[in-house]
Chain A
């Protein structure tokens, strides 16, 4: 029905709808637009504007303790489209094994499997403006005209990722027109939900309290409510809903805000010395498609993960050419330069690396190729490929978001992020590094050099990805989860949660495609309730 500036509404006014959605990031927008053309009245309550607003953004500030993390008002955005206004746009569905109970990973297991989400992933890809086939190996193969690397027993496999590009990149703006034109959807901008009001004795949400920065207070009432404010704000809002429930709403088992997870990357983790400097790398490089980009990533097969007791991890390959000499006249060298398109650092290899490259080329049987003989000369560059690891974090109840002492502009406690890893996470990195070395070696593709930080993995300073997950985890058992398999709060019959805060485990892929798929699934569930 349009966008409404909530600041222009009367103080004390009540917004009425069938479903109230808190937050217009991709999760909130996907749910709202799933009802497009329906008779269900949707109120989408968004804290920010269509564009960036400084004063609103300041509401996202919080405190960081535990593992160093960028400021909380930097790692998320309060505006239509939420954090996708500055995201990387990298997407892919999670793997089947990610949903299973893995006995080597505590607290693993979703209440349903990949098959349940598959149709919703398709819709999620469309929501992001990318084709579903873009995730398929065949599609990338024919686009780039190259094959993925083949490992013995397929112990390591290749997956294709896509980057949302062009108009769809800022998902809020991409769907702005749909929101504007849908007769049954009203998007309230500058509408800050500050309380979820429940009666002491009932397990129903009665209404939401909404405040604006020009000091108006309104109410929003609906049959159903969906909390879709992001992985840090979702638990904060539940914890702040503490008037009748002192521990916060949904928190009777002290789970809200716990199990905060990020994807883990250790910078300068691994360097591959391919046996063959001509190893075809094209499958793993960005391919510029009409809608964005596609590229291959390496990941351990299900079998390798099971056998090795591994967490899910993926490896992004980026070529580095050592000792690269930019002034080489030889046209052959220039074509090599094109081939490797040096991405990096010009790091000078130590002598050992060159000797290693010579020896593995012999053993792995590429040293006789003319190309090898020509280029693998001491005066020519030594090619190495940087393998960037991105792995899942083990669910850890001590890693958490909670309410701090500081207050925001509305007198609401700001949140504290206490991100923590365990020894298990360090052990996992050791296991991952061992496996990646082993599988490259046994396949004869090259050897991997692992660069341990001083003090080993225990001292690792992980590089965050700004993926905030796990803080209102999903489990059918209220003692183990904040929401059930339908993403409904165990403690409130008409309140649902959308976003990566419901992920019980996080796999190795970026979360947003799964967030959107879950949002569509939730919309279907809500439609089912209404009918």
Chain B
């Protein structure tokens, strides 16, 4: 039986977006998990284009670390990773997607939204897009 290392909170998002520049076991875990997670942005190009539009409005967030920190803020982690999602298998991917939907809902509730091309989008979804644009 192969035991995959449980990713820490950073790898969670990193894996989701298949971010490079991780170290050692994290990179391995991320790479492995990213394969399972590619479904999130089935068209990375589309995400990157929206991400660029977002970063034009918020240039101060235009680096991956800042975006990661914002996406993995304690408030977000409470939703994303309440019991330490392992990303190991389809069930966890499903939970992660649901968690992202919860964040999207929270953003719309709290007015954490931005207009891109006349559309109102949630800041979390735009930050994910922005990360995709930067990687």
- Residues of chain A with a CB closer than 8 A to B46's CB: 354-356, 358-359
- Residues of chain B with a CB closer than 8 A to A365's CB: 97-98, 101
Q: How far, in Å, is B107 (CB) from chain A's closest CB? A: 8
Residue of A nearest to B126 (CB): A359
With A152-B105, A354-B46, A444-B101 in contact, do A359 and B118 touch (Cβ < 8 Å)? no
Interface pair A352/B120, CB less than 8 Å apart: no
Interface of chain A: mostly helix, strand, loop or mixed: helix
Interface of chain B: mostly helix, strand, loop or mixed: helix
A-facing residues in B98-122 (Cβ within 8 Å): 98, 100-101, 104-105, 108-109, 113, 116-122
- Residues of chain B with a CB closer than 8 A to A152's CB: 105
Interface locus among A138-146, A205-213, A446-454: A446-454
**A441 interfacial by beta-carbon distance below 8 Å:** yes
A112-138 CB mask vs B (1 if < 8 Å, else 0) is 000000000000000000000000000
Of the residues A355, A358, A434, A442, contact of B104 by C-beta under 8 Å: A442
Interface pair A352/B108, CB less than 8 Å apart: no
Q: How far, in Å, is A31 (CB) from chain B's closest CB? A: 48
In Å, the complex CA distance between A354 and B50 comes to 10
**B42 interfacial by beta-carbon distance below 8 Å:** yes
- Residues of chain A with a CB closer than 8 A to B42's CB: 358, 361-362, 367-368, 373
**A324 interfacial by beta-carbon distance below 8 Å:** no
Of the residues A360, A362, A437, A439, contact of B40 by C-beta under 8 Å: A362
- Residues of chain B with a CB closer than 8 A to A54's CB: none
- Residues of chain A with a CB closer than 8 A to B40's CB: 362-363
- Residues of chain A with a CB closer than 8 A to B47's CB: 355, 358-359, 362
In Å, the complex CA distance between A360 and B124 comes to 12
Interface pair A449/B119, CB less than 8 Å apart: yes
In Å, the complex CA distance between A444 and B121 comes to 11
Q: How far, in Å, is B132 (CB) from chain A's closest CB? A: 9
Interface pair B108/A363, CB less than 8 Å apart: no
**A496 interfacial by beta-carbon distance below 8 Å:** no
* Count, A-B residue pairs, CB within 8 A: 93
Q: How far, in Å, is B48 (CB) from chain A's closest CB? A: 9
**A438 interfacial by beta-carbon distance below 8 Å:** yes
With A362-B47, A367-B39, A441-B122 in contact, do A352 and B116 touch (Cβ < 8 Å)? yes
In Å, the complex CA distance between A76 and B126 comes to 50
- Residues of chain A with a CB closer than 8 A to B113's CB: 437-438, 441
Q: How far, in Å, is B118 (CB) from chain A's closest CB? A: 4
- Residues of chain B with a CB closer than 8 A to A452's CB: 118
A56-96 CB mask vs B (1 if < 8 Å, else 0) is 00000000000000000000000000000000000000000
Q: How far, in Å, is B15 (CB) from chain A's closest CB? A: 16
**A177 interfacial by beta-carbon distance below 8 Å:** no
Q: How far, in Å, is B77 (CB) from chain A's closest CB? A: 18
In Å, the complex CA distance between A451 and B115 comes to 12
Interface pair B117/A356, CB less than 8 Å apart: yes
With A352-B49, A365-B101 in contact, do A441 and B39 touch (Cβ < 8 Å)? no
**A524 interfacial by beta-carbon distance below 8 Å:** no
In Å, the complex CA distance between A452 and B121 comes to 17
List A residues at the B interface (Cβ < 8 Å).
Answer: 152, 273, 350-356, 358-365, 367-368, 373, 434, 437-439, 441-444, 447-452
A sample of 14 more A-B contacts (CB under 8 A), given A352-B117, A363-B40, A441-B120, is A273-B119, A352-B53, A355-B43, A355-B47, A356-B121, A358-B46, A365-B97, A437-B113, A437-B120, A438-B113, A438-B120, A442-B104, A449-B119, A451-B118
List B residues at the A interface (Cβ < 8 Å).
Answer: 39-43, 45-47, 49-50, 53, 97-98, 100-101, 104-105, 108-109, 113, 116-122, 125, 128-129
10 A-B Cβ contacts within 8 A?
A356-B116, A360-B125, A437-B119, A438-B120, A441-B113, A443-B105, A448-B120, A449-B119, A450-B119, A450-B120
